[in-house]
Structure 1
Amino acid sequence: MQDVIIIGGGPAAMTAAIYGARKKLDQIMIAPEFGGQQVWATEIENYLGFRLISGYDLARKFEEHVRDFGVPMVADRVVSLSKADGSFKIKTEGGEEYQSRAVIIASGRSSLNLGVPGEEEFKGKGMAYCATCDAPLFSGEDVAVAGGGNAGLYAVIQLAKIAGTVYLLEAASFLRGDKELQDKIKNTPNVKIFLRTRITQIKGDKFVKSICIQNLETGEESGIPVTGVFVEIGSRPNTSFLPSDVKLNDRGEVEVDCLDRTNVPGLYAAGDVTSVPAKQIIIAAGEGAKALLSAYEYLVRNFAEGV
């Protein structure tokens, strides 16, 4: 039996793992992939110690740090979590079962789909959900980005360096991303911004050829010829594996107190999956450290002989 199992592979999970290793805990991390959503950030300027670093490079540095501590990192997806007789049981998509005295949920969030006709048909054929991964495929091509939050603005900044015209579509009447990101794209000549506008359909034959858009104020519909559509409209917390007795808020996030405790004793949560506001890398990392220290106190208090 493990002392603690950390579910997730992003900044919160990896920071928790480092703190667990320093406490000499018997622990493992379980995640389908390691790095977290930060991997897709083109440029990061606000993580202490790095004036400018890509999300991918920062994620690799995190992972290298964790591996240096010898923390087992299991590449699998957790499908269920339950508690009985004072311990937790975890089942994975790969058919494995694990037991632990405490658990830290740091499973992060997943991107949302547009949910419009043509989206499923053209996934991998012009529909994209990762500008860092797929932007080079659209060199010189006209593309659309759905979403005016930070993720959408990061995508626009990256695509504007590679693509032809970049159309940014936002359903709200304003862009929701950070002011400095907005300033960058507003001063980029090949970026065109459409507010109060949504994509209603993706069209093409073998690949994406155009999008249908609707002005939400006038109802007017029109088309834009593009070969790529990047979806950056938000995300949902990854909580489908949790039992029904774990308290979530109205946004589906895990409710935690100031010590990252959930309503279930021995179950902690950290990072973007939680109710803690401001989804930032540095905040997730700090919350991961706090969750592990809280879990350690729980282990000492309840299982002192085995820690």
Structure 2
Amino acid sequence: MLDATLKTQLKAYLEKVVQPIEIVASLNDSAKSQELQALLQDIVQLSDKITLREQGDAKRAPSFTIQRAGTDIGVTFAGIPMGHEFTSLVLALLQVGGHTIKLDDAVIEQIRNLDGDYEFETFVSLSCHNCPEVVQALNAMSVINPRIKVTTIDGGVFPKEVEDRQIMAVPMMFLNGEHFGQGRTSVEEILSRLDSNAGVRAAAELSKKDVFDVLVIGGGPAGAASSIYAARKGIRTGVLAERFGGQVLDTLAIENFISVKETEGPKFAAALEEHVKAYDVDIMNLQRAVKLIPGKIAEVHTASGAVLKAKTVILSTGARWREINVPGEKEYRNHGVAYCPHCDGPLFKGKRVAVVGGGNSGVEAAIDLAGVVQHVTLIEYGTELRADAVLQRKLRSLPNVQIIMSAQTTEINGDGQKVTSLSYTDRSSGAAHKIDLEGVFVQIGLVPNTEWLKGTIALSRFGEIEIDARGQTSVPGVFAAGDCTTVPFKQIVIAVGAGATAALSAFDHLIRSGDEEPQTTETKQAVAV
């Protein structure tokens, strides 16, 4: 099952196992069971601390539980955790085997003190780059607190269960049989829902913090760059982020960040966070800003009720997928309406879908989906596609793709449980049409996360924060960077540069306003760019 190179790498990891592990497998006579059996046998041969026992009484087959011998500590996988989930498998083996779990001590203590019995089931696809974070978060929680039981289910291996439970987006979490949530979710986010008092405690602690010299709002590439450049100046720096990493977490392939030939969004976001943590930066994650009160000492209010104060503020709140805002879109989100073809595409295998949007993201989505689904209809509002020529040529070469131009989507229809068709109007003739299908992927660009700033700073007609070449907004002491601004091109490399510019401008503002003493020669040497 595993090639020689992978076995060598895995063997080196398994040397970190300190507690005996028993893998208990439930198999049947299917081909998938034979694949799983081969994988587990390969693993057992790589460590003398791991044993394998086969039985057939589990709820699902093929499946297996990684159990710490003589304890009730364990995690379960239903299916074969390869692809993006292979890392989840390796981490599960290490953590169940006693290797250190890399979470903050306070978070570990909070997990350990959860009072209750929790049984999680998480449906994933092996091509989903967002799923591993959820799987690994729940697995770690289960090892810390055995009253939390977790099962990761590969929807491709159990299609009937996916159909019966109407799962049309991954990762999809169920807690004690009830829907719990979907999408990329961290340990802290899960904890905030299980521990009802966590938000109140966090808000109280945040409000006690001293005044920041620079407070960055947003933890994407622009926010990360801003915080690093500010911290290198030796000033008190904080980052308030609703989700550290931002939209990069939802990006699959990154091939245009200079000096990094290729990487994936989640890996890039993890590297950003690791770099920020190398400096004296106060990271306040899972906190959404809802109000900005400018002033010599600005105030930033959060949804949790906290109030933070800062001499300067850098807004880097990024952007999110734009919605088409037609009837049925919200009603059938995650029930046929999707925004990530890489994550959710495999759930539509053999089905008919539409992609709304003819830019690069829409055409790329249609190309990717064409290799999985039965048929793709690409719907473009304009009279021509806006994607790069090379992408258009590839799209038009595919036999199971139809392109409809000058089409305005008017409604996404369903049967109350899932999508069944899409309605559109031909903008040339005015004729109404309906396409029978089972999925709609919306790919029509981005909208800036700036609604909470209306009436506070100047915004463009598109809702973008208006900035000058220095990142200065219409309010003195408030700067902005990244996709939430009027910068003409929304690219990671541009956001990083803009973040650096905003931080340097904020530092300059502090000096010129008399709020920051010029640095000594020694300090300059210590924090030199």
TM-score class, shorter: over 0.9
Counterpart among 342, 347, 357 of residue 137 in structure 1: 347
1: distance between equivalents of 2:334 and 2:263? 28
Any idea what the Cα deviations from partners look like across 1:108-135, whole Å, max 9, x if unmatched? 1222222222222212211112223322
1: distance between equivalents of 2:393 and 2:269? 26
Q: Is the 8 A contact 1:40 1:131 kept in 2?
A: no
1:51 lines up with 2:261 in the alignment: yes
1:214 lines up with 2:416 in the alignment: no
State which structure, 1 or 2, has the greater radius of gyration over its C-alpha atoms: 2
Q: Which residue of 1 aligns with 2:509?
A: 298
Q: Which residue of 1 aligns with 2:77?
A: none
Displacement, 1:218?
Answer: 1.5
Q: Quote the sequence identity (%).
A: 41
Any idea what the Cα deviations from partners look like across 1:163-206, whole Å, max 9, x if unmatched? 22222111011122333433332333333221111222212211
What letter matches 2:441 in structure 1? F
Counterpart among 367, 374, 386 of residue 164 in structure 1: 374
After superposition, the Cα gap between the structure-2 partners of 1:281 and 1:162, relative to the gap in structure 1 and judged at 3 Å, is: same
What letter matches 2:244 in structure 1? F
Q: Which residue of 1 aligns with 2:224?
A: 14
Counterpart among 266, 287, 297 of residue 477 in structure 2: 266
SS at match of 2:329: coil
Displacement, 1:261?
Answer: 0.7
Displacement, 1:106?
Answer: 0.6
After superposition, the Cα gap between the structure-2 partners of 1:181 and 1:9, relative to the gap in structure 1 and judged at 3 Å, is: farther
2: distance between equivalents of 1:46 and 1:56? 15
Displacement, 1:254?
Answer: 1.1
SS at match of 1:210: strand
Q: Which residue of 2 aligns with 1:285?
A: 496
After superposition, the Cα gap between the structure-2 partners of 1:7 and 1:127, relative to the gap in structure 1 and judged at 3 Å, is: same
Q: Which residue of 1 aligns with 2:161?
A: none
What letter matches 2:495 in structure 1? A
Any idea what the Cα deviations from partners look like across 1:21-62, whole Å, max 9, x if unmatched? 222221121121122333333322211122222333322322
SS at match of 2:504: helix
Q: Is the 8 A contact 1:80 1:243 kept in 2?
A: no
Moved more, 89-98 or 22-31: 22-31
Counterpart among 97, 103, 124 of residue 307 in structure 2: 97
2: distance between equivalents of 1:132 and 1:56? 13
Any idea what the Cα deviations from partners look like across 1:50-76, whole Å, max 9, x if unmatched? 222233332232223223335332211
SS at match of 2:254: coil
2: distance between equivalents of 1:152 and 1:204? 22
Point out where structure 2 has 5 or more consecutive residues left out of the alignment: 1-210, 520-529
Report how many residues are paired.
Answer: 306
Displacement, 1:77?
Answer: 0.7
What letter matches 1:23 in structure 2? K
Any idea what the Cα deviations from partners look like across 1:83-117, whole Å, max 9, x if unmatched? 23x11100001111100000001111222222222
Displacement, 1:243?
Answer: 5.5
After superposition, the Cα gap between the structure-2 partners of 1:24 and 1:160, relative to the gap in structure 1 and judged at 3 Å, is: farther
After superposition, the Cα gap between the structure-2 partners of 1:185 and 1:40, relative to the gap in structure 1 and judged at 3 Å, is: farther
Relative to the length of structure 2, the TM-score reads 0.55
What letter matches 1:304 in structure 2? E
SS at match of 2:226: helix
1:239 lines up with 2:450 in the alignment: yes
Displacement, 1:160?
Answer: 2.7
What letter matches 2:331 in structure 1? E
Point out where structure 1 has 5 or more consecutive residues left out of the alignment: none
Q: Is the 8 A contact 1:40 1:132 kept in 2?
A: no
Which ranges of 4 or more aligned residues in structure 1 deviate by more than 4 Å? none
What letter matches 1:249 in structure 2? S
Displacement, 1:306?
Answer: 9.5
1: distance between equivalents of 2:391 and 2:264? 15
Matched ranges for 1:242-253 at <5 A: 242=453, 244-253=455-464
Displacement, 1:217?
Answer: 0.9
Counterpart among 231, 248, 259 of residue 38 in structure 1: 248
Moved more, 5-14 or 110-119: 110-119
2: distance between equivalents of 1:101 and 1:288? 17
1: distance between equivalents of 2:280 and 2:420? 48
Q: Which residue of 2 aligns with 1:28?
A: 238
SS at match of 1:199: strand
Q: Which residue of 1 aligns with 2:44?
A: none
SS at match of 2:500: helix
Q: Is the 8 A contact 2:338 2:344 kept in 1?
A: yes
SS at match of 2:342: helix
Moved more, 137-146 or 242-251: 242-251
SS at match of 2:373: coil
Q: Which residue of 2 aligns with 1:203?
A: 413
2: distance between equivalents of 1:288 and 1:270? 5
Relative to the length of structure 1, the TM-score reads 0.92
2: distance between equivalents of 1:222 and 1:15? 48
Higher RCO structure, 1 or 2 (CA under 8 Å, sep 6+): 1
